[in-house]
Amino acid sequence: MAAQVRVRFSPAPTGMLHVGSARTALFNWLYARHTGGTFILRIEDTDVARSRTEWVDQIQMTLRWLGLDWDDGPHLQSHRFDTYLAAAERLLVEGFAYECYCTEEEIKERNEEARRDGRAPGYDGRCRDLTVEQRLELVGEGRPRAIRFRTPDEGRSTFTDLIRGDVSVEWSTISDFVIVRSNSTPVFFLANAVDDIDMEITHVLRGEDLIDSTHRVLALRRALGSETPPAYAHLPLILGPGGAKLSKRHGAVALEEFRDEGYLPSAVLNYLALQGWGPEDGNEVMETDSIVAQFDLDGVSHSAAMFDHQKLDWMNGEHIRALPLADLVGEVLPFARDRYGGRLDVQVFEDAVALAQPRAKTLVHIAQQVQFLFIPEDEFRIDEAAWEKISKIDRLADFLDAAIQHLAVCAWDPESIDLRPLIEGLGLPVRKTMKAVFAVTQGSDVGLPAFEAIYLLTRETTLARLRAARARL
C-alpha cells in the first residue's frame, strides 16, 4: 500500500464558491474519503487586496452544506507570509531567483509593445543579471523591488498527469515570474509550492486551467529542495451551455444560489460528481456514500463538461423523491416559514408536502405548490390565464352551484369530496371540468391532486372560493 493520501482544497477567498471550485473540492474530498486519506482545507489568500475574511467563512459554510468535511484546517496562507518570504530569500541567495526593479507599469508597457510587434508577452529578463552597482542605482532611484524566479532558458519541462499522461512544454516559452511582490507579499506560486511541501500533499487535483502553471510550481519545488513531487491530476473544466465560460448569464453558478433555490445538497453533490466522472454500472442517481465507494481517478474524463441545469433539476427531483417524508418536510419547512410565517399549519403542511413530493423539482417549487393553503384569503387570486381558460367551460355555473351544494353537506374526506360523480351526473366532460376545480381552489388550472387538496383546504375556505368564483361569472 502506498503512503497515506493527503489532498487539499485551496480556494482563494475572493467570492462565493463557484460550481467549478465546488467540483474540485468534491473530487479532492471523494478521493480522500475513498482512499482513507486526509482532506485539508487551505485558504490561498495571498492576494491581500482581493481576499476577504467573510468569504473565508462563507466558503466553509458552503462546503459544510454540501457535506464536505475537512480533517485539517482551514490554514490561511496570510498567516504564513514569513515562511514564504524566508523561502524566497533562500532562493535569492542560492541564485534560483533575482531581484527585479521594473515597475508594473513598465512591464505592462513592454508587454503591450511585444504584442504589437507580434512577439510573445512575458517578462523580458531585464533585471536578470544586474551587477551590484546597477542594483544600488535602481534602489537609489527609490524603485520597488520584487523577486522573480529564474526559469530555465532551454530544455523541456515534463510531468506525468494522472489523467492525461505526460504533459510537456518548452521552457523557453515560460518567462521568469514574480514570487514576491514589490509590497513584500508572496505570490500564489511560491505559497502553493511551499505549503504543498510542508503539508506533505501527495495528490494535487485541480482544474485544467492550472495545467500550465504546474511546470512553474514543480520548478519551484525542486529549487526549494523537494525531491518528490506530488501526483497531479488536472480535472476537466465545467463550461456553460454552448461551451462558453459558465457565468451568471446561464443561471445559478454559486453553490449558495443552488441552496437558496431549493436544491438538496445530496443532489448537487451527485450532479457535480457526474461532471467529469461516472459510475461503472451507469446508475447515476447515488447516495454520497455510494459515490465515495465507487470514485476513482482513472474514471475521470479528459474533456470539459457543459453544465446542464435540466439534468440537475431532474437529479434534484430524484433525490427529493428518495427522501423520507419527515426529512423532506424538514427541508422544505424553512422555505415555507419564510413565505407563510405563522400561517403555516404544520400538520396540513406535512400532508401537502406528501402530495407535492412526487411532482417536485426543487424545495422552493414545493413551497410554492402549497401556497394556496397558507396565504391570507384576501390575497388568494386565480391566475388570469387559467381563469380565461376555464370561464369558457360549458355550463360552469351549473357545475359550481352543484359543487357548492355537494361540498356544503358531504362528509369531509377525500373520497366524499370526489366531484367526478357529480360532473358525470351533469353530463359534463370530467377532464375539462376538473380544470375549473383546480383553478378555483388552488389558483391555477394545474395543481396538487384536487380532492386531497380540497380536504386540506377545509370546507369553509373551499366554499368561500367556489362562491367567489361563481359570483364572478
Q: Which residues in 212-251 contact RNA (CB under 7 A)?
A: 212-213, 234, 236-237, 239, 243-245
Nearer of residues 50 and 472 to RNA, judged by Cβ:
50
Nearer of residues 115 and 395 to RNA, judged by Cβ:
115
Locate the DSSP E strands across 162-259.
165-170, 177-180, 203-207, 231-235, 238-239
Q: Which of 193, 261, 182 is nearest to 226 (CA)?
A: 193
Sole binder of RNA in the list 34, 65, 83, 121 (CB under 7 A): 121
d(CA 312, CA 290): 18
Q: Which of residues 297-336 bind RNA (CB under 7 A)?
A: 298-299, 301-306, 308, 310-311, 313-314, 317-318, 321
Q: Which of residues 257-276 bind RNA (CB under 7 A)?
A: 274-276
Residue 19: φ, ψ to 5°: -60, -35
107 in Cβ contact with 76 (< 8 Å): no
Q: Is the backbone of residue 143 left (phi > 0), alpha (psi -120 to 50) or beta?
A: beta
Of 108, 248, 389, 392, the active-site residue reads: 248
- Asked whether position 187 contacts RNA by CB under 7 A, the answer is yes
- Asked whether position 367 contacts RNA by CB under 7 A, the answer is no
Nearer of residues 133 and 415 to RNA, judged by Cβ:
415
Sole binder of RNA in the list 92, 159, 182, 252 (CB under 7 A): 182
Nearer of residues 44 and 196 to RNA, judged by Cβ:
44
Locate the DSSP E strands across 231-348.
231-235, 238-239, 305-306
d(CA 418, CA 200): 68
Q: Minimum CB separation from RNA for residue 35, in Å?
A: 19
- Asked whether position 128 contacts RNA by CB under 7 A, the answer is no
Q: Which of residues 430-469 bind RNA (CB under 7 A)?
A: 430-431, 434-435, 437-438, 445-452
Cα 364 to chain center, whole Å? 18
d(CA 332, CA 370): 11
Helix axes 396-409, 459-472, angle to 10 degrees: 160
Transcribe 27-70 into DSSP letters: HHHHHHHHHT-EEEEEE----TTT--HHHHHHHHHHHHHHT---
Instruction: Identify the three-state secondary structure at position 142.
Output: coil
Q: Which span sits near RNA by CB under 7 A: 254-262, 352-360, 387-395, 396-404?
A: 352-360
The per-residue b/e assignment along 290-317, b for 16 or more CB within 10 angstroms, e otherwise, is ebbebbebeebeeeebebeeeebbbbbb
Q: Minimum CB separation from RNA for residue 120, in Å?
A: 4
Q: Which span sits near RNA by CB under 7 A: 80-88, 95-103, 324-332, 455-463?
A: 95-103
d(CA 221, CA 228): 9
Nearer of residues 231 and 337 to RNA, judged by Cβ:
231
Nearer of residues 358 and 425 to RNA, judged by Cβ:
358
Residue 191: φ, ψ to 5°: -60, -40
Sole binder of RNA in the list 79, 343, 381, 420 (CB under 7 A): 420
Q: Minimum CB separation from RNA for residue 240, in Å?
A: 9
248 is catalytic: yes
Q: Minimum CB separation from RNA for residue 342, in Å?
A: 28
| Nine-digit cell string for 197 | 511541501
**Mask of contacts with RNA, 52-91, x by CB under 7 A?**
----------------------------------------
How many residues in the shown chain lie near RNA by CB under 7 A?
92
d(CA 54, CA 187): 21
Q: Which span sits near RNA by CB under 7 A: 260-268, 326-334, 354-362, 394-402?
A: 354-362
According to DSSP, the β-strands at 231-235 and 146-149 are unpaired
Q: Minimum CB separation from RNA for residue 406, in Å?
A: 15
- Asked whether position 181 contacts RNA by CB under 7 A, the answer is yes
Q: Minimum CB separation from RNA for residue 80, in Å?
A: 13
- Asked whether position 210 contacts RNA by CB under 7 A, the answer is yes
- Asked whether position 130 contacts RNA by CB under 7 A, the answer is no
Nearer of residues 65 and 171 to RNA, judged by Cβ:
171
| β-sheet bridge partners, residue 306 | 239
Q: Minimum CB separation from RNA for residue 64, in Å?
A: 21
Q: Which span sits near RNA by CB under 7 A: 40-48, 58-66, 393-401, 455-463?
A: 40-48
Cα first-last separation, the chain: 78
Active site residues: 248
